[in-house]
């Protein structure tokens, strides 16, 4: 199996192309500073992962920017902190400021010359517009949780993407699903028989950060520590 075997790269965005852990932790600092005991970055991210995933399960049709304020309130309750509605809503808007990983724009611009680029993302359309501007590339397909009415790892999100891509002449065997999250992306990619590429952004950290622990570790076809490393591997293939 080679990278050049595929026609389309389907991307997770937050955690893979956008540095959501940095954006998330920065936006949570006003809340963290009110807590009367010390919290590590990974403790914060792991509790966020729990409340985000459970809220997505219970309210799958709620837009991401409307779901995050609930997560903020649940964290505040757990940590014994009083917060206002305005503080919660401000956190929901913070996603628009979450930064891109430095290598994402250049890597995507290179890959656009060789593949169709598609996103399957757990966000809403308005929020994604701001993230796409940071990524500096036009995607060939954009499928959001708002479009589908549910969040990954739900199977309907992948059904929706595969159905839409088939209308563009892209079949399952043409796709390399490219993501960081084992829970949201690689586990369902295995279930769907999709070839997959792990962008291991947390290669120098322990645990799963802002994502839930998968039920079982998925199999991986390609693994790179960054988008830049993915580009280098593709260039090496072409040179050989």
Residue 145: C-alpha distances to residues 40, 51, 67, 119, 240 (Å):
30, 17, 12, 11, 39
* Catalytic one of 12, 19, 124, 185: 12
Measured CA to CA, the distance from residue 120 to residue 151 in angstroms comes to 10
Q: Are strands 141-144 and 175-179 parallel, antiparallel or unpaired?
A: unpaired
Residue 88: C-alpha distances to residues 24, 158, 211, 213, 214 (Å):
13, 30, 21, 26, 28
Q: Are strands 195-199 and 8-11 parallel, antiparallel or unpaired?
A: unpaired
Burial of residue 49, with CB atoms counted within 10 A of its CB: 0-12 exposed, 13-18 middle, 19 or more buried: buried
Which residues are CB-neighbours of 141 under 8 A, at least 6 positions away? 10, 116, 118, 119, 161, 164, 165, 168
Active site residue 97: no
Query: Could you list the active site residues?
Result: 12
């Amino acid at each position: 199996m080679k990278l050049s075997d595929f026609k389309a790269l389907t991307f997770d965005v937050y955690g893979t192309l956008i540095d959501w852990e940095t954006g998330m932790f920065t936006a949570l600092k006003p809340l963290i500073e009110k807590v009367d005991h010390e919290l590590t970055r990974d403790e914060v991210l792991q509790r966020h992962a729990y409340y985000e995933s459970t809220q997505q399960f219970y309210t799958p049709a709620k837009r991401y920017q409307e779901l995050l304020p609930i997560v903020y309130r649940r964290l505040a309750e757990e940590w014994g902190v009083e917060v206002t509605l305005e503080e919660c809503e401000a956190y929901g808007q913070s996603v628009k400021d979450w930064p891109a990983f430095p290598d994402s724009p250049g890597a995507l611009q290179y890959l656009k010359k060789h593949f169709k680029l598609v996103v399957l993302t757990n966000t809403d359309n308005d929020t994604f517009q701001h993230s796409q501007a940071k990524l500096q590339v036009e995607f060939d397909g954009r499928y959001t949780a708002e479009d589908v009415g549910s969040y990954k790892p739900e199977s309907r999100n992948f059904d929706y993407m595969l159905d839409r891509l088939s209308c563009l002449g892209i079949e399952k065997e043409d796709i390399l699903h490219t993501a960081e999250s084992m829970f949201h992306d690689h586990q369902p990619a295995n279930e769907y028989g999709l070839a997959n590429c792990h962008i291991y952004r947390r290669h120098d950290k322990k645990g799963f950060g802002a994502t839930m622990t998968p039920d079982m570790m998925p199999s991986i076809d390609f693994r790179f520590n960054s988008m830049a490393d993915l580009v280098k591997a593709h260039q090496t293939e072409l040179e050989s």
